[in-house]
Amino acid sequence: MAKAAPLVLLVLLATAARAQPPEEPRVGKVSIEGNRSLSARRILGGLATRPSDRLLFFGEVRTLDLGQVAEDERRIEAFYRSEGFFSARASHRVLPMSGGRVHVQFLVEEGPPAILGSVLIEGMDDLPPDVRRRVLSGNPVREGERWTEEAHLAFKEQLQTRLEEEGYAEASVEARVEVDRERAEVFALYRVFPGERYRFGDVHVVGNLMVPDHRILAAVEPIFEKGDRYSPRRLREAQAEVFDLGVFSTAVVRKGEPDPETGTVPVLVTVQEADFLRFRLGVGAGIEQSYQQLRLVADFAHLDLFRGLQRLEFNNELAYRFIFGGAEAESGIAAVSSLRLTQPAVIGNRIDLAAGLTYERQLTLSFVSQSIRGSLGLPIRFRRWLYLVPSYQIQRYFDVRTFTSPVATGRPLPPVNCPGGCTFSYLEQRLVVDRRSDPLEPRTGFFAALGLQEGGIVLGGDFDWVRIVPEFRTYLPLGTDWVLALRLEAGILQPLQSVEKCEAEAPTPYDVQTRCSPIVVRFFGGGAAGFRGVGATRLSPLQAVVVGRGDDRETVFVPLGGNSSLLATAEFRWYLTRTLGMVLFADVGNVAAGPTEAFRARDVHLAVGTGLRLRTPVGPIRLDLSYRPLRRHIEVVNSDAVLEDDFIDWFSIFISIGEAF
């Protein structure tokens, strides 16, 4: 009996092997045929059957599921019905492909589209004529055109939301259609029940333990007051304003039960306070032509320091930079540490007081410096998305070393490059309009800003200047998976000292062109967040500097900066999957010595390229590759040498976190 055991075991294993179900083939391609009226992309985008998209560690392998395919046939027919094709029928066939894959092909017989025969709207005769006109304007349903469920539901939603915006807080709409399949015709009926017209009543706050009611009510007050016409849009704006106070984990502003006797709607503000103490610790890395760096970020914030929403913020960033191609620049530490205290509502409810102290160690291809800056400002918050920040800034630079070779003039060096330290004292105003859908990864909206600086000896500084920096960005969605992002930035720095004084002190001819503007306040371009045709700070007039001795001598290029800058970008963003995307971009940029020279069309530089985006909770990880097709050399002010010596020099590569803009 014992001798028979191995034989029995082999029989059982063979039986189990035969019972093992065959592996389902992988789906290599999914397509649709017969769709004359509707796009294949719209149809296939709603199906569960999709081709495998495994690439290295991304995507997934999908196998053929005939039950899922049958369900997709019903999805296709339902989609066609929603588009007005009530006689549409779908089927499928499976075609073999190489490598054990299959091609799932759906076949559609569309049939005739249903035409909207009539539209009947009931219940609006008693509304004021101006209200009726605003509610009905832009009606998406048209008699004589193909009926679609999307337009039908959109018109129902339009009637509902616009009536509510007109103050009809209890408005309701019923909508139905009758379909004549033989005649391929649809008849639509909308019944409107507007109810009473209301105004805002009292505002009630619940859920706050430490934050006083009056601070929350102050955030609501600019949006609406008691007696204003009721509007759901204003409720949403008020909710955003309350949440923007920054001390709540949740904030909900909603209507209460309408009171027909008084004609008012009470408002309920429900909040849940967040932790007032916040810590943030993070690490990062960046790779580009000019340098590579490892970065450490450590932030602390107290959101209610003295029980009045006073905000104390202590932000720190420490980086070790590996510098490439510098004259005297060495790899080393770059750091910034800032302490900021904000007292809200010092003047009225919308004007705060902000005081700050910042230490910074800069390490670039052009210079290394340390500085301490103090600031005092009055941020004015008109809305959470519209604010003006006037401030006074005083900044002391010390331990400044520039990596250029000044001409021997026999005179002491002027304070152009702050050899013994220098002081900047200036007024600054910054106006911001931020209507982006998301600051980390915007898909809609726009951002606009205007920065002004007026520095002068009369304020206790060493230089007189005016600086203007306008900026505009917009994001245009092109369907569900595409966004066109546009950006335009400019910079103008106008030194106010006389040309004669600068000529008498300037160590180099280039300093005369810049009218002796300090190098630490000039504009520099390039890098992952700017003009992606060159590395950080390299979009700038350059000075050629010979370093080394004997056979080790080489020419390196030191960016000098300029008094004007230009940057324009068009970026097409394509979201391939939930985690992976790609971009096509074109950057136009320039930096020049004079305050308007950067804007000359014949001197601008162009970079075109592509990139990949890996979406993460902290923002997308970016890989960008660019090429400069115009092959216009970066200006070298003191030599015939060129930065772009080889073909590969016209290409650039960047790895970073966050969108370029």
Tens digit of each residue's pLDDT (9 = 90 or more) over 644-660: 888 999 999 999 887 77
Find the mean pLDDT for residues 439-454: 93
Question: Which single residue is written with the structure tokens 């955003």?
Answer: 240
What would the DSSP string read from start to end of 410-446? SSPPPGGG-TT-EEEEEEEEEEEEE--S-SSS--SEE
Compute CA distances 508 → 416, 505, 563, whole Å: 10, 9, 16
Structure tokens that stand for 422 in this block:
């220098």
pLDDT at 578: 81
Residue 182, token pair as written in the block: 């033989």
Q: What end-to-end distance do the CA atoms of the chain give, in Å?
A: 79
CB 598 within 8 A of CB 592: yes
Rounded Cα distance, 45 and 38, in Å: 12
Supply the pLDDT for residue 14: 47
The CATH number that domain 115-193 falls under is 3.10.20.310
CATH number corresponding to 25-109: 3.10.20.310
Which tens digits make up the pLDDT trace of 126-177? 999 999 999 999 999 999 999 999 999 999 999 999 999 999 999 999 999 9
Q: Decide which of 2.40.160.50, 3.40.50.300, 3.20.20.330, 3.40.50.2300 is the CATH code for 277-657.
A: 2.40.160.50
Where helices occur in 32-175 by DSSP H, the ranges are 40-44, 66-82, 129-136, 149-165
Please determine, for residue 641, whether its predicted confidence score (pLDDT) is greater than 70: yes
Confidence of residue 439 (pLDDT cuts 50, 70, 90): confident
> In this structure, what token pair is assigned to residue 478?
């092109």
Residue 469 has pLDDT above 90, yes or no: yes
The pLDDT, as a whole number, for residue 518 is: 85
pLDDT at 328: 52
* CATH superfamily of the domain spanning 199-273: membrane protein fhac (3.10.20.310)
**Does the pLDDT at position 307 exceed 70?**
yes
Location of each CATH 3.10.20.310 domain in the chain: 25-109, 115-193, 199-273
pTM score of the predicted model: 0.77
Residue-wise pLDDT tens digits, 74-109: 999 999 999 999 999 999 999 999 988 999 999 999
∠ CA 355-356-362, rounded to 5°:
160
- Between these two residues, 620 and 43, which has the higher pLDDT value? 43
What strands, in cross-sheet order, belong to the sheet with 115-122? 115-122, 185-193, 172-180
For CATH 2.40.160.50, the residue range(s) in the chain are: 277-657
Hey, what are 77's tokens? 């027919």
Give the pLDDT confidence score for residue 409 in this predicted structure.
32
Categorize the per-residue pLDDT at 417 as very low, low, confident or very high, splitting at 50, 70 and 90: low
Digit-coded pLDDT (tens) for 491-543: 999 999 888 888 887 778 888 889 888 888 899 999 999 999 998 889 999 98
The CA–CA distances, whole Å, from 630 to 261, 508, 606, 634 equal 73, 30, 6, 11
The predicted model gives 247-271 an average pLDDT of 95
Mean pLDDT of 362-380: 91
Place of tokens 């809305």: 383
Supply the pLDDT for residue 411: 33
pLDDT category of residue 405 using cuts at 50, 70 and 90: very low
